[in-house]
Amino acid sequence: MNTLIQSCINNKFSKTPIWLMRQAGRYLPEFRFIRKENQDFIQLCLNTQLASEITIQPITRFNFDAAIVFSDILLVPYALGQSVNFKKDFGPSLEKIDFKILNDVKKENFLKKLNPVYETIKQTKTKLSSNNKDMIGFVGAPWTLLLYMLNRKSPKEGNFSVFPKDKNINNILMKLDEFLKIHIEAQIKSGASIIQIFDSWAGLLPEKDLEYFVYKPTKSLVDFIKQKKTISICFPRNINSYKKFVDNVNPDIISIDYNVNPLIIRDTIDIPIQGGLDPKILLQSKEAVKKEVTKYLKTFEKKRYIFNLGHGVLPETNPDMVRYLVDEVRSFNGQ
Ligand code: CP3
């Protein structure tokens, strides 16, 4: 049976599916309850039983059309031997790259370290299998991972510089290409029907560097996902031209941020589109939510559109507002 997302991308007249980036997270009291008892975030991601429970939490509450595995893009640097910590109110903190370790990573060891993630996908897939819902796996795009690996923390404005396209950078990009494909393949084998590629920091690059850091390495992953007959979604957040990205990378679905004008996207891009709504809207009134939701649904009414946000759900979001959002999207469709 086709899932709602598969029907949507095959037929523009189908109902609009909905899922949200960071749908499992701190805005949910049931997540905070588990998180409180599990201070080490990486170990929580690697606890199959809890990770599967967390993945299902937003499905139980809101009946979203897809589950996204509870994991993190920084598990890849972790499995490549670079330790990662999440400090409260600071975000991720990575140790300095050790090229000796990086160049020696073996596929078996990498897969062994991340095996709990694959088990989470398998277990969760079984729980979802009676429904027509997708199981979404994901990776960080090579550029965003490279940035975290070198910058060792979130690259807030001003605290990162563009890297030279030298041998070291090329070495890391090659390792990422190799191991991201291993990670993608293992997620697909475990039951992921869609892979989303998160390029959260694509918007930091000047136009002239996009080919080297974004288009070429992302296309390599998208082509690999296609070979595996799996759907790819790309989210090159804050990029200047989504149209150029789509022309160069050719994913199955493009996910957009909230800074881009949806009318321009509608009029220039022909592939299925996902997302856009500013997550900050969910901190406002129901009227504001209704107005913005209607704007996106109307704009993309004649296109193949998957409802989502323009970035992740904010931790301070009231779950009742997410309930309202889901109901609005479904009632627009007469569901
Ligand atoms: O979307 C989902 O529900 C699935 C799980 C998921 C997480 N991270 C769980 C998480 C996904 C898809 C991600 C992707 C991710 N992780 C990205 C790309 C998307 C984006 O937000 O731009 C990035 C850049 C990361 C790295 C990362 N992980 C950061 C910068 C942080 C700290 C800041 C923050 O947003 O909380 C995390 C932690 C993290 N990853 C949390 C969750 C639920 C919060 C953990 C907590 O403090 O309880």
Atom of ligand 1 nearest to the CA of 198: 18
Give pLDDT, residue 89.
Answer: 81
Best mutation site among 73, 75, 88 for ligand 1, i.e. most ligand atoms within 8 A of its Cβ? Answer: 73
Asked whether 35 lines ligand 1 (CB < 6 A), one says yes
Q: What is the pLDDT of residues 130-139, one digit of tens each?
A: 778 999 999 9
* Residue-number span of the structural domain to which 201 is assigned: 4-332
To test the pocket of ligand 1, the residue of 22, 148, 274 to mutate (highest count of ligand atoms within 8 Å of its CB) is 22
How many CB atoms within 10 Å of residue 315? 12
Whether residue 98 is predicted with pLDDT greater than 90 in this model: the reply is yes
Ligand 1 nearest-atom number relative to CA 21: 1
Give the pLDDT of residue 12.
Answer: 67
Categorize the per-residue pLDDT at 67 as very low, low, confident or very high, splitting at 50, 70 and 90: very high
Pocket flag, ligand 1, residue 201 (CB < 6 Å): no
Number of domains in the chain: 1
Cα separation, 85 vs 81, in Å, equals 13
Is 200 close to ligand 1, i.e. is its CB under 6 Å away?
A: yes
pLDDT at residue 127 is higher than 80: yes
CA 21 to centroid of ligand 1, rounded, Å:
9
pLDDT given at position 129:
73
> Closest ligand 1 atom, CA of 69?
4
Is residue 335 scored above 70 in pLDDT?
no
Q: Is 235 in the pocket of ligand 1 (CB under 6 A)?
A: no
Give pLDDT, residue 156: 77
Q: Write down the pLDDT at residue 90.
A: 84
Q: Quick one: 220 exposed, middle or buried, by C-beta within 10 A (0-12, 13-18, 19+)?
A: middle
User: At 61, is the pLDDT very low, low, confident or very high (cuts 50, 70, 90)?
Assistant: very high
* pLDDT of 160 above 70: no
Q: Mean per-residue pLDDT for 159-188?
A: 91
pLDDT at 190 over 90: yes
Give the separation between CA 117 and CA 331, rounded to whole angstroms. Answer: 35
Please give, one letter per residue, the 3-state secondary structure of 254-271: EEECCCCCHHHHHHHCCC
DSSP string, 82-147: --EEEETTTEEEEPPP-HHHHHH--HHHHHHHHHHHHHHHHHHHHHHTTSS-EEEEEEE-HHHHHH
* Average predicted confidence (pLDDT) for the chain: 95
Instruction: Judge whether 109 and 180 are in contact, CB under 8 Å.
Output: no
CATH number of residue 188's parent domain: 3.20.20.210
Ligand 1 centre distance from Cα of residue 189 (Å): 23
User: Residue with the nearest Cα to atom 3 of ligand 1?
Assistant: 22
Instruction: Please work out whether the CB of residue 203 comes within 6 Å of at least one atom of ligand 1.
Output: no
Is the pLDDT confidence value at 173 over 80? yes
At 140-151, the pLDDT tens digits run 999 999 999 999
Q: What pLDDT sits at residue 159?
A: 63
